[in-house]
Structure 1
Amino acid sequence: AGHIVGVTQLSSYLGDRVTCILVILLFQDSAFPNLEGALLSSPSPLVLPTVAWQASNAVIGQLQDQLDTSPLYMDPEMLSQLRLNASSPALLVFRLPYSTGANLMTVKEVLSGNDEVIGQVMNIMKSQSVPYTAVYTAVRPSRVSHSAPIHRSIWSGLSGTDLFLNSSPQEGGGGCIMLWAENLTVSVLRGGRWERHDLTSLTFGEGVTPRLQGSLCNQSHSSLVLNYENILGHRSFKLVFAMSQRHYKVSARRWFTLDAVEIEYDGQKATFNGSRNVYAPAEYSYRCQSVTNFRYPLLVPRTSKDPANQWRVSFTDFQIQGFNVAGGEFSYASDCAGFFSPGIWMGLLTSLLMLMVLTYGLHMIMQLHTMDRFDDPKGPAISVPQTD
């Protein structure tokens, strides 16, 4: 009673309990207690009454590292069509919805529906007769007391333009996310024309204190949420940078990626995927002169039908670090610029073309031969008779 399980202790619990190579993870935005049936039927249940939300939020990353596989986000219909192999590791993730409305009956109906989803998943797994470990957890508490220092987010004017997100005391007290950009703009397509809005002064302006509600950071995931108002006609407007880090066996080191840049506006969401282009070693920061989704794009819409196709984002002289921030300064920057610049490529291609011309000329000269027979000037001349 009174003990809160932290990240390290939860990691040790998972290491001891996850003995199967198939893991099912069910999580939702808020917890509910209707799991007694599943717990009673389990041969070895483990109940942790109080877990720090930073620890529960890191469960996916810990299971990824332990199983060395990527998560598959599923629903019961997809699971019923999937044939699981007991010899192949798998991490199946089910996102359970939660209602935040004021109607109590609506919340009760959603929770009852979640119980049914859990029951369907358990029945499907029993029918396939594959050993598995099931983990149920909430992502974060549904209500947070403002007096409790669960998460504290502030801005600090480092060098006048650096964005610095402080973590809570449970995370170690230091800053956990840093962002810097010389220019930050967003544009939306309306009536065949692009409407542009500059967010630089609202984000990095002198004396400006933007709101960071919803931001979080832990050992495996970081999320920076910039909250604005009345942007391009939208009363509520958010710019979200979602990052994660994990260990890759090929390189034998941890890397962090900018998984997504999201624009949330009046209940809608546009998502740009950046994990393929924006990445760096976990102990480094990432820097690039231009990060956009249109001209030389490093950010791409998640799908062809995603609302992100109607949006443009542009960051000039962009630098971000979501992990291992120390001393309020960026770590060594991993730059997006390749080793060969456009000028170097032009010089190499020009030199190659000249080398080819020189080689062809030498080849033609080497093919020339001296004549071995000549006309005898003392002999009879050639006579061609004239004909009508």
Structure 2
Amino acid sequence: MAGGDVTVDQLKMAALRKVSGSARMILQVFLCVFAAAKSDEQVPLVAWASDGFVLSPVDPPAAGHTVSVDELESALNRALSTTPNNLLLFLQDKLSVDDFTMYGGVFGNKQDSVFQNLEAALLSSSSSLWLPSVSSSAAALVSTLLQNQIDAAPLFMTPDTLAQLRLNASVAALLVFRLPYSSGADMMSTKEVLSGNDEVVGQVLSIMKAQSVPYTAVFTALGPSRVIEEASPAVHTVWSRSLLQSRREEPSAPNPPVEFKEKGSTCILLWAETVVVSQYRSGKWERHDLTSKTFGKGVTPNLSGSSCNETHSRLVLNYEDVLDYRSFKLIFVMNRRHYKVSARHWFTMDRVQLEYDGKMASFNGSRHIYAPSEYSYRCESVSSSYFPQLSPHSDKDNANDWHISFEDFQVQGFNIAGNDFSYASDCASFFTPGIWMGLVTSLLMVLVLTYGLHMIMQLRTMDRFDDPKGPAISVPQTD
């Protein structure tokens, strides 16, 4: 939605209801969750109303109980009966109660909290609803549950586009704000990303206040950011401290790779543990994780535009609503050539392209991403930022404003037998840092031993020694 004001009559959104409860109950509920049962697929959900509105009361779930889809729908049906029709849904990629305890002001240290705007909104609200243990399958349907109540589709927004709207308190509106999450292994740490998300929350609430539009807000996530293996059943008071037990995530089966078929046979395979794109705009890097949209059970990415033959392979991943772009494509271009020096065929990743709303950013990977044509290529990390294997293809496009990052990356575009990767040609060189350290250490030890042997061999003994029973040795002196 570019330029000009847009009326809400064109949008038709969904509204949310809330449940009464003081802001201090938030902390108690959070700590109860820490002392509750397992949270393998649990995310917290918090909702609050603007000034002058009170959420209808809902019985809080028992400590350790996970709210199912039916229970969440019932709770929202009761809570939404007395709240404004303008709903703000802040939907983060991942979230757990641990994020509030680690980065928030749960124990009173609010100066270091990254949720200052969220906490201020909860403390100023006359009522709020906290569901600290909602199943991830239920949280993923929050937008759908709200949409079904008013029979209108949600509108994905940003603070900039929200400022262009003319909201009407009498018209139901569901405004969805997608927020990223970082595991700390990429360009931005988790604390920085959560702080940026809280700034988005503050900007949205400021715009709603400036327009004098009442609203109902909900903050939740699509999945958990971390897993707590076990906890004690004891329930602590609001300000008591509890020791956090060590966590250990159980290994899970890897997601299947992206598979493109031509004439019934697989000709391109792609897999990565994480896929992240970032764009620099408004003076900062905005990050979006594409992993959940690309890999996973039940995920079928749109591969329209892909093609393959004996010498050329092109894999196109089509996405929607990535960094506020309606159309977003991630394209991998591979070619197979015969090299006379090695007398064999090799394939190279010539380009990795980003196409977004008619614009393009292109990266060259042929210098680093290559393998024999009958092999697959694998690398622990492929990035355009740190130790880049992907370099801007041209200064004329927008590649310098983008970063691409793949973790545990593997791709094969030719000579695929069945639907499995062939033997992988790893990007790691033969002389790894560990091998170099061993060689240098061994060389130093050899040098020390050689020097010691040389010193021993240079030792000389005297030809004659003093005999206490015989005459003393006299050394003649000459002038």
TM-score (norm 1): 0.51
- 1:267 and 1:186 mapped to 2: Cα distance? 17
Q: Is 2:398 the partner of 1:307?
A: yes
Question: In angstroms, what is the RMSD of aligned CA positions?
Answer: 2.8
Structure 1 counterpart of 2:336, one-letter code: Q
C-alpha deviation, 1:304, in angstroms:
5.2
Q: Which residue of 2 aligns with 1:166?
A: 261
Q: Which residue of 1 aligns with 2:329?
A: 238
5 Å-filtered alignment, 1:146-157, equals none
C-alpha deviation, 1:310, in angstroms:
2.1
Q: Is 2:297 the partner of 1:177?
A: no
- 2:463 and 2:285 mapped to 1: Cα distance? 76
Give ranges in structure 1 of 5+ residues lacking alignment. 1-157, 382-388
Q: Is 2:294 the partner of 1:199?
A: no
- 1:380 and 1:280 mapped to 2: Cα distance? 82
- 2:285 and 2:370 mapped to 1: Cα distance? 29
The one of the two structures with greater contact order (alpha-carbon pairs below 8 A, sep at least 6) is 2
- CA change 1:371–1:377 in 2 (3 A) is closer
Structure 2 counterpart of 1:302, one-letter code: H
- 1:358 and 1:379 mapped to 2: Cα distance? 39
Q: Is 2:453 the partner of 1:362?
A: yes
Q: Any idea what the Cα deviations from partners look like across 1:28-57, whole Å, max 9, x if unmatched?
A: xxxxxxxxxxxxxxxxxxxxxxxxxxxxxx
- 2:395 and 2:450 mapped to 1: Cα distance? 49
Q: Any idea what the Cα deviations from partners look like across 1:230-272, whole Å, max 9, x if unmatched?
A: 2123222111000000111211111111111111122221111
**Correspondence for 2:444 among 326, 344, 353:** 353
- 2:444 and 2:355 mapped to 1: Cα distance? 51
- 1:166 and 1:192 mapped to 2: Cα distance? 41
- 1:346 and 1:304 mapped to 2: Cα distance? 39
Q: Any idea what the Cα deviations from partners look like across 1:251-306, whole Å, max 9, x if unmatched?
A: 11111111111111222211111111111111221111111122232222224565
Q: Which residue of 1 aligns with 2:360?
A: 269
- 1:379 and 1:224 mapped to 2: Cα distance? 95
Q: Which residue of 2 aligns with 1:295?
A: 386
Structure 2 counterpart of 1:270, one-letter code: A
C-alpha deviation, 1:351, in angstroms:
1.1
Q: Which residue of 2 aligns with 1:280?
A: 371
Q: Which residue of 2 aligns with 1:190?
A: 281
Q: Is 2:320 the partner of 1:225?
A: no
Q: Is 2:311 the partner of 1:216?
A: no
Greater shift, 207-216 or 352-361, is seen at: 352-361
- CA change 1:358–1:379 in 2 (3 A) is closer
Paired residue secondary structure (1:231): coil
- 1:264 and 1:250 mapped to 2: Cα distance? 36
- 1:336 and 1:343 mapped to 2: Cα distance? 16
- 1:297 and 1:204 mapped to 2: Cα distance? 24
Paired residue secondary structure (1:234): coil
- 1:326 and 1:189 mapped to 2: Cα distance? 41
- 1:346 and 1:221 mapped to 2: Cα distance? 41
Give ranges in structure 2 of 5+ residues lacking alignment. 1-252, 466-471
Structure 2 counterpart of 1:351, one-letter code: S
Structure 2 counterpart of 1:260, one-letter code: R
C-alpha deviation, 1:161, in angstroms:
2.1
Q: Is 2:424 the partner of 1:329?
A: no
- 1:192 and 1:354 mapped to 2: Cα distance? 52
- 1:289 and 1:319 mapped to 2: Cα distance? 9
Q: Any idea what the Cα deviations from partners look like across 1:193-232, whole Å, max 9, x if unmatched?
A: 3221110000113322221121111111110011112212
- 2:266 and 2:459 mapped to 1: Cα distance? 75
- 1:308 and 1:284 mapped to 2: Cα distance? 29
- 1:217 and 1:240 mapped to 2: Cα distance? 13
- 1:284 and 1:379 mapped to 2: Cα distance? 82
- 2:476 and 2:435 mapped to 1: Cα distance? 66
- 1:270 and 1:295 mapped to 2: Cα distance? 18
- CA change 1:359–1:240 in 2 (3 A) is same
C-alpha deviation, 1:177, in angstroms:
0.8
C-alpha deviation, 1:369, in angstroms:
5.0
Structure 2 counterpart of 1:207, one-letter code: G
Structure 2 counterpart of 1:165, one-letter code: F
5 Å-filtered alignment, 1:110-149, equals none
- 2:417 and 2:391 mapped to 1: Cα distance? 31
- 2:283 and 2:460 mapped to 1: Cα distance? 68
Give the total of aligned pairs. Answer: 220
Paired residue secondary structure (1:230): coil
- CA change 1:363–1:290 in 2 (3 A) is same
C-alpha deviation, 1:373, in angstroms:
11
TM-score (norm 2): 0.42
- CA change 1:309–1:356 in 2 (3 A) is farther
Greater shift, 364-373 or 343-352, is seen at: 364-373
- 2:288 and 2:311 mapped to 1: Cα distance? 33
Question: Percent of aligned positions with the same letter in both sequences?
Answer: 64
Structure 2 counterpart of 1:163, one-letter code: V
